[in-house]
Structure 1
Amino acid sequence: MAVVSVRDVAERAGVSVGTVSNVMNHPDKVSATTVARVQAAIDELGFIRNDAARQLRDGRSKTIGLVVLDVRNPFFTDVARGAEDRAADAGLTVTLGNSDDSTERESTYLDLFEQQRVHGVLISPYSDITERLRRLRQRGIPVVLVDRTSDDLSFSSVSVDDVAGGRLAAEHLLEQGRRRIAFVGGSMIRQVADRLEGARQAVSGHPDATLEFIETPALSVLAGRDAGNSVLARRADQRPDAIFAANDLVAMGVLQALMMQGQGGLRVPQDIALIGYDDIDFASAAVVPLSSIRQPSALIGQTAVELLLAEAADPEVAPSQVVFQPELIVRASTQ
């Protein structure tokens, strides 16, 4: 079937192509009779307007590109939902890209968004792509960092103080009398490194306490389960008495491993206290409700869109860095 064009509609309605364009974009400039005639031709021919082409001609689409590290992590799903809600208020949509901790996929999405001339880009960077983001901005595409701060403060950003969050988690474990703490995490992105640094700061104030780093290949439930199994396989006197997981997915995996009775499972928190990070919905529903460090995920997404809209409206606006404070949520896994 041939694609119906604006010219086909104009010929059927007996008007000019310009009149059809006005009917679709500025109906107030056309008489009601002409609008009705053009609309009848559109309905009869089954014409579908090409908004993508029109937006490209205008120089900017009504789509915001969002690139996250791992769409499987409910934290990023909530960030995306917050961004989507705020974008909808502004008549925009959000296209989600999952870099999956891959520099190649991250670059592919940025190339795609640049080609589409999106309204702007929100990104939680995996690699050092500062120059790439500067190129986007030079082409008139504003950029806001999500869940990360800009190293040189040249980009607007929305993040959480992860060093403070790491301190909160470790201090809570120390207050519960735990002294052999293990930090379980991997994929040493800035956020994870900051959480580990915060934990180190807290433990450094207690000469009788130690902090062990158990590295994982990913920040997933499976990686957490493997780490938990490695702890479970140790002699009792060599195990940590508390675990701080880099995120709640890792913590859920650790919890599953520790409580597998068929392998001589341990009690949480009696034998090992456990705290995660992000406070995803699943944390409170775990077999042992999980203590966690809460981030305002939806608010992060909403705020990022706010900053993006401000920069799109005025490219000369000074970059803004919004940093939220984390919150300790205490549940049964630590007390």
Structure 2
Amino acid sequence: MAHQAGVSMGTVSHYLNHPSRVSAEKAKRIQDAIDRLGFVRNNAGRQLRLGHSTTIAYIVPDVSNPFFATIAEGAEQRAAQAGLSMFIANSAGDPAREESYLDLFEEYGVRGMLVASPRSIEARLAAIRERGTPSVLVGRKAGSAAQPSVSIDDVSGGYLAARHLIEIGCGHIAFVGGPLGVRQVADRLQGASNAVREAGSVTLEVIDVEPRVITTGHKIAAQLIDRPAQRRPDGVFAVNDLLGIGLIQTLVTGGLRVPEDIAVVGYDDIEYAENSLVPLTSVRAPHEEFGIAALDLLLAVLDEAPAPAETHRVFAPDLVVRQSTRRGQVGTT
């Protein structure tokens, strides 16, 4: 290829690994030669020379959920800046599938992993770490200082959601989401329970459901519609936006008014929340910053970035108020 481009082997190497060091004229000649020859880079050989992989992995429980997609976007952006590629694997919330991906990526020698899991997985990640593959837990705070993690303060988020419903006059709130064994779900319920306890006269009904998807929201809304009016909640805190969007769709098509009859708050503030049939009030986390923070923690473990001030990055949530709870003049918290 160097002969075809009329440059040295060193210049070709710079073009492939450090393109900014090559002039525009030489870069064009090398790229033309690559196109003519049909050259495909042997990344395995490059990794052998470097002594380590240039690939990381991100395992998510639901690749269709925009929450995880936005985190992936931020992480991938930061990985590219560091000269790393990223594989994304969808465990679909299946422990066996998640295990197989953990085995696969360790076997292939990825540089590190980002792992978002609904189950307790720290012991498994610790074993993988001891064999040489570091990881960052995404979405929940790790219990061990040795396990870096990025999370949102879900107790505060649940409190914000329930307190907002109470402030607009809701007296019977339903918490919709599950399974309650998932740490994030339990924390959001704890926050909502704290707000209800503070209010004194408000009641909290827990509707434990899974999966946390739009169709489940449809199902729960249909059940609420079938109840006598006096037994229906006048406010619903959906543990994620997909449930909230499904609830609103079926409540409205079933003849109930949102928010006048039932106000709805979601969680995650995904892109679709604002574009719901009735724009959905939601607890927001900085998703893209999540991904960047997770990658920075991983790079620090790999000694490719400065050590962070803290091993566990916990982001504070915000409440974004939209029409699904606007019974009166309510601002954004």
Could you say which TM-score interval applies, normalised by the shorter chain?
Answer: 0.7 to 0.9
- What secondary structure does 1:252 align onto? helix
Candidates 138, 142, 155, aligned match of 1:146:
138
2:160 and 2:34 map into 1 onto residues whose CA distance is: 61
Q: Does 1:186 align with 2:178?
A: yes
Closer, same or farther: CA 137–207 of 1 in aligned 2, 3 Å: same
Closer, same or farther: CA 135–231 of 1 in aligned 2, 3 Å: same
Answer with 278-287 or 317-326: which moved more. 317-326
1:139-175 alpha-carbon deviations (Å, 9 max, x no partner): 2222111111112232111110000000000000000
- Give 1:228 deviation, angstroms: 0.8
- Give 1:130 deviation, angstroms: 2.0
Q: Does 1:244 align with 2:237?
A: yes
Output aligned runs, 1:219-230, within 5 Å.
Answer: 219-230=212-223
Candidates 30, 54, 61, aligned match of 1:69:
61
- What secondary structure does 1:199 align onto? helix
1:24 and 1:137 map into 2 onto residues whose CA distance is: 36
Partner of 2:316: 325
- What secondary structure does 1:122 align onto? strand
Q: Does 1:79 align with 2:68?
A: no
Closer, same or farther: CA 142–266 of 1 in aligned 2, 3 Å: same
- Give 1:24 deviation, angstroms: 6.0
Q: Is the 8 A contact 2:122 2:147 kept in 1?
A: no
Closer, same or farther: CA 56–231 of 1 in aligned 2, 3 Å: farther
Partner of 1:297: 287
Q: Does 1:109 align with 2:70?
A: no
- Structure 1 counterpart of 2:270, one-letter code: I
Q: Is the 8 A contact 1:56 1:116 kept in 2?
A: no
2:46 and 2:171 map into 1 onto residues whose CA distance is: 63
1:310 and 1:41 map into 2 onto residues whose CA distance is: 38
- What secondary structure does 1:259 align onto? helix
Closer, same or farther: CA 133–24 of 1 in aligned 2, 3 Å: farther
- Give 1:61 deviation, angstroms: 1.4
- What secondary structure does 2:86 align onto? strand
Residue ranges of structure 1 left out of the alignment (5+ in a row)? 1-8, 14-18, 28-37
Partner of 1:171: 163
TM-score, normalisation: structure 2: 0.85
Residue ranges of structure 2 left out of the alignment (5+ in a row)? 16-29, 327-333
Q: Is the 8 A contact 1:216 1:224 kept in 2?
A: no
Partner of 2:196: 203
Q: Does 1:310 align with 2:303?
A: no
1:296 and 1:137 map into 2 onto residues whose CA distance is: 27
Closer, same or farther: CA 57–110 of 1 in aligned 2, 3 Å: farther
Partner of 2:226: 233
1:113 and 1:289 map into 2 onto residues whose CA distance is: 40
- Give 1:49 deviation, angstroms: 3.6
Q: Does 1:158 align with 2:128?
A: no
1:229-281 alpha-carbon deviations (Å, 9 max, x no partner): 111110001000000000000000101110114xxx20000000000001111
Answer with 325-334 or 53-62: which moved more. 53-62
Closer, same or farther: CA 23–166 of 1 in aligned 2, 3 Å: same
Closer, same or farther: CA 59–109 of 1 in aligned 2, 3 Å: farther
Q: Is the 8 A contact 1:121 1:144 kept in 2?
A: yes
- Structure 2 counterpart of 1:320, one-letter code: T
- What secondary structure does 1:205 align onto? helix
Q: Does 1:278 align with 2:268?
A: yes
Percent of residue pairs bearing the same amino acid type: 47
Q: CA RMSD in A?
A: 2.6
- Give 1:25 deviation, angstroms: 4.6
Q: Is the 8 A contact 1:184 1:244 kept in 2?
A: yes
- Structure 1 counterpart of 2:80, one-letter code: A
- What secondary structure does 1:313 align onto? coil
2:130 and 2:305 map into 1 onto residues whose CA distance is: 10
Partner of 1:3: none
- What secondary structure does 1:66 align onto? strand
- Structure 1 counterpart of 2:298, one-letter code: L
